[in-house]
Structure 1
Amino acid sequence: MPRTVRKEDLPTPSEIDLLCAALLSSDEQAADKIILSARRDGVTIDTIYLGYVAGAARQLGEMWEDDRVSFVEVTLASGRLYRVIRGLRHVVARTLGEDRQQYPALFALVPGETHTLSIEMATDLFRREGWEVDLAVGQSHDEIVQRSETHQYQAIVLVAHSDRMIEPLARMILALRISQPLAHVLVAGNILTHFPDIKDLVGADAVVKDIETATETVRTVLESDAS
């Protein structure tokens, strides 16, 4: 946590409960109103991001693990949290990127997925075209998140094939949105055939439909941000 955020400035558990309830409510703007109210009360951007947003993400994950919310509910809440993150990401960029060297891309196999051939082929393709691409295969959720916390990736491509990977994929994207707010998160693999609407379902920025168009897809996403 940056030195600018003091423990005593962090939101209380009841405030996190209130934000999670807003994220899960039928009111599309409820969570945004809480964040705006905190801003008006003088809460710093760092505290909002690392206290309110990260705290809500952590609690949503715990509620999911305890079966207090369904996959559909936590996905809806995560989508609303992504909107908050997108609104803050350029404001907090300087703080979160201070000690991180920038890297073009990370290709990561979703934890629990066993089919590695396609991600290894894609990584090799990108490298042959001159990209500096890191590869994460066989790593746990926490290991991938920790890796993202020490690097500033422009793009993170998550690869999954089985329909059973939808939940670990959604968990991974939510965690990466917190640790890597500036990164573009893309989804690739056969999971796209199981969930044609997966981009909206898990809150990804884009999907990579096949290996032939992979480099062009990632390049287009990065260029759209630069423009």
Structure 2
Amino acid sequence: MASAAVRPTPQGQVSSLIEEQIIPRLLMAHSSGVGRARPTGTLSVDPAEAARFASLPLDLDADELLEVVESFIERGVSIESIFVDLLAPSARRLGQHWEEDECDFLDVTMGLWRLQEVMRQVALHFPSDHFDGNISRTALFSPMPGDGHALGTLMIEEVFARAGWQTEALIEPKRKELLQIIAERHFDVIGLTVSCDCTNGILSDLICAIRSVSRAPKVQVLIGGRMVNANPGLVDEVGADGTAPDARSAVVLAEKLVAKQLVGSAGFDLRLG
């Protein structure tokens, strides 16, 4: 976060909690076959309601927070929208509270824990049953090697999986490990989350290496995260194929890019964001 240089110790503790405790629990939720497969709707969260929800993790316990989220689901809001339009903005808002000195370390830590527990419960109780048989749509998502912030990577992997893609996510990969997986297995799309401060040269070199070792001759490389949001022109500068403002738009972009490669069409710009 922006104030890390001022208050490194508490923020480091927050990062450790997320990376060492919360993310493994999320991975358990992703890999678990347990769940009450109940139908969900197709509506989206209203932005005004999302804004009112954003700070609730500071005041409600996890069970109360889950009841609020389930009320959205009962009204017909899709699980995808719960992740993209409700929970993700809430996590960002908690970070803003911390950066702006509106909450202390304990408040933000507890809020994050409550929010992540709700995310885990939603993933467990409402597993994706979307599968259209098109196993050619495969995607691998990873933070940049050396970047420990994997929450965004897991979030986008969840949204792609719910859209019917065959997906995998890596947590804190080494560069060698990432490239070895890409060399050994076929992925139509590689999604890199760029949250750490790295040079354009490092990112460009990694993308070039991905293309050189990929088993998919026309692999599409998407990038996102804090650095890309701050400079969308980074896509062209490092040789990526596109970016998108959120996970839902990333699915749309990836679908178009893969379809374009399959039919051999060309000529129009598919980039979003």
Q: Structure 1 length as normaliser, TM-score? A: 0.52
1:168 aligns to 2:202 (yes or no):
yes
C-alpha distance after superposition, 1:120-177 (max 9, x if no partner): 1111111122211011121110110000111111111111113326443222101111
Q: How many equivalent pairs are there?
A: 127
The whole-number CA distance in structure 2 between the counterparts of 1:133 and 1:158 is 13
The residue number in structure 2 matching 1:151 is 185
Is the CA contact 2:229–2:245 (under 8 Å) kept in the aligned structure 1? no
Give the residue type in structure 2 aligned to 1:214.
Answer: A
Match of 2:260 in 1: 224
- Distance change >3 Å, CA 218–CA 103, structure 1 → 2: closer
Per-residue CA deviation, residues 13-69 of structure 1 (Å, 9 max, x unaligned), is xxxxxxxxxxxxxxxxxxxxxxxxxxxxxxxxxxxxxxxxxxxxxxxxxxxxxxxxx
Distance 2:168 2:239 in 1: 22
Q: Using the TM superposition, give the Cα deviation of residue 196 of structure 1 relative to its aligned residue in structure 2, in angstroms.
A: 2.3
Distance (whole Å) between structure 2 residues aligned to residue 102 and residue 224 of structure 1: 14
- CA deviation profile, 1:48-93 (whole Å, cap 9, x unmatched): xxxxxxxxxxxxxxxxxxxxxxxxxxxxxxxxxxxxxxxxxxxxxx
5+ long unaligned stretches in structure 1: 1-100
How many Å separate the matches in 2 of 1:116 and 1:217?
Answer: 21
1:110 and 2:144 aligned:
yes
2:200 is equivalent to residue 201 of structure 1 = no
State the one-letter code of the partner of 2:241: D
How far apart are the structure 1 equivalents of 2:240 and 2:213?
15
Does the 8 A contact of 1:206 with 1:221 survive in 2?
no
Q: Deviations over 1:165-209 (max 9, x none)?
A: 644322210111111242111111111133221111110111132
- Given that 1:163 and 1:194 are in contact with CA atoms closer than 8 Å, whether structure 2 keeps it comes out as no
2:242 alignment partner AA: A
In structure 2, relative to structure 1, the CA distance for the partners of 1:112 and 1:168 (3 Å cut) is: farther
> Does the 8 Å CA contact 1:110/1:165 hold for their aligned counterparts?
no
CA RMSD of aligned residues (A): 2.0
- Write the distance in 1 (CA, Å) between the matches of 2:172 and 2:197: 18
Supply the distance in 2 between the matched residues of 1:103 and 1:217 (Cα, whole angstroms): 13
Deviation of 1:102 (Å): 6.2
Distance 2:199 2:165 in 1: 27
- Relative to structure 1, the CA distance from residue 102 to residue 225 in structure 2 (aligned partners, 3 Å threshold; closer, same or farther) is closer
Structure 1's 141 and 125: CA in aligned 2 closer, same or farther, altered over 3 A? same
Give percent identity, aligned residues only.
Answer: 26
Match of residue 54 from structure 1: none
Confirm or deny that 1:139 pairs with 2:177: no
Q: Aligned equivalents of 1:119 and 1:112: distance in 2? A: 14
SS in structure 2 opposite 1:153? Answer: coil
Q: Give the equivalent residue in structure 1 for 2:218.
A: 182
Q: Which amino acid aligns with 1:120?
A: L
Segments of structure 2 that go 5 or more residues without pairing to the other structure are 1-134, 264-273
Considering only CA atoms, is the larger Rg found in Structure 1 or Structure 2?
A: 2
Q: Which has the higher contact order (CA 8 A, sep 6+)?
A: 1
Cα deviation, residue 103, structure 1: 6.2
Q: Which residue in the other structure is 2:228 paired with?
A: 192
- Report if the CA contact (8 A) 1:160-1:190 is conserved: yes
**Relative to total residues, which structure has the larger strand share, 1 or 2?**
1
With the length of structure 2 as denominator, give the TM-score of the two structures.
Answer: 0.43
